[in-house]
Amino acid sequence: MTSPALPDTFRALLLTKEEGQAVHAEVTTLPVGDLPEGEVTVRVQASDLNYKDGLAVTGKLGIRTYPMVPGIDFAGTVLDSRDERYAVGDAVTLTGWGVGERHWGGYSELARVKADWLVRTPARFGAAEAMAVGTAGLTAMLCVMALEDAGLKPEAGDVLVTGAAGGVGSVAVSLLAARGYRVVTSTGRVEEEGGFLRGLGAAELLHRDELSALKKPLEKERWAAAVDVVGGETLAGVLASTKYGGHVAACGLAGGMQLPATVMPFILRGVTLHGVDSVQCPADKRQRAWDRLAAELPQALLDHGVQTAQLEDLPRLAGEILAGQVRGRTVITLE
């Protein structure tokens, strides 16, 4: 399970920080000996761009140890393995587990990680396609699973997706529409992204301000369920307008970590709020989600909802994703 030879060096986006100074991000060449501990060394073929990556690259994530290679996801091929579950040449994917935050991540030509953190890349996906899915797609599927495990069916009524033009939101829209749900989307870019969202299957578009403007403890009942990636005032508005017995899967905080809501939706309408986490998601649930993504994700999303970029583009893209200016998924190619 050992490669005949590993490269002597590799390129990576390295974050450094001097005391009292801002975080500096630069693509540099590093010796292979700088790689952290782990049982499996991977030739990274693709990574991706998530909101958390934007926070890391711009110095807003709160990383404790520098230098750090960011990138919370990657897909590639095993170059060296000290774990019997993986052999040289295996196609593998990693999402979450603190990679890119506490352990060097995917914005690098090489990565060395714990074997427990890896999954086998589904046969349907190449490395770039796996990263077109990435943490965003995994999170979106976990949200759909949370709602359906709670009993949601298409006949229950509309399902709302907030932050719909972003990575998690766009995949959630596509998955839900493909399963027969009538999907209502919320975005701050209705005019710019309306065609894109309708192409994914959205039946109705709302401006995000309509949700954050809902201030009453209980508003008109509108959706049977929702996937919320925004948090803050948006999530409060979503909860207040969810139908009796409805379910809301919350997985993000792009709009803030506070929840300025009341208990009224929970105790008078029986609304359930499901927290969805993909970072520490158990291996069995993670594998179930990836298997469903391989079986159900519409190919149109991979064909039309993805842009590609290079390591050198990341400092610019990091600012753009934090400003809500990135559509769909961005794959970082390393081949």
| Bridge partners, residue 248, by sequence | 226, 273
pLDDT of residue 93: 96
What are the residue boundaries of the structural domains of the chain, listed by start? 9-121+305-333, 135-275
Residue 1 pLDDT > 60, yes or no? no
pLDDT of residue 4: 56
Single-letter amino acid, residue 168 = V
pLDDT of residue 249: 98
Alpha-helical regions (H) of the chain? 51-57, 127-149, 167-178, 190-200, 208-212, 232-240, 264-268, 283-296, 299-304, 314-322
**Is 110:44 a contact under the CB 8 Å cutoff?**
yes
pTM: 0.87
pLDDT of residue 97: 95
pLDDT of residue 20: 83
Residue 5 pLDDT > 80, yes or no? no
Peptide bond into 67 cis (omega under 30): yes
Indicate the pLDDT class of residue 301, thresholds 50, 70 and 90: confident
Single-letter amino acid, residue 315 = P
CATH 3.30.465.10 fits 135-275, yes or no: no
Q: What is the pLDDT of residues 169-228, one digit of tens each?
A: 999 999 999 999 999 999 998 989 999 899 999 999 999 999 999 999 999 999 999 999
Q: What is the pLDDT of residues 23-64, one digit of tens each?
A: 999 999 999 999 999 999 999 999 999 999 999 999 999 898
Mean pLDDT of 273-277: 97
Average model confidence (pLDDT) across the chain: 94
pLDDT of residue 326: 87
**DSSP label at residue 173:** H
Indicate the pLDDT class of residue 2, thresholds 50, 70 and 90: low
| DSSP structure string for 265-310 | HHHHS--EEEE--SSS--HHHHHHHHHHHHHHS-HHHHHHSEEEE-
9-121+305-333 CATH pick, 3.30.1360.70, 3.20.20.150, 3.90.180.10, 3.40.50.720: 3.90.180.10
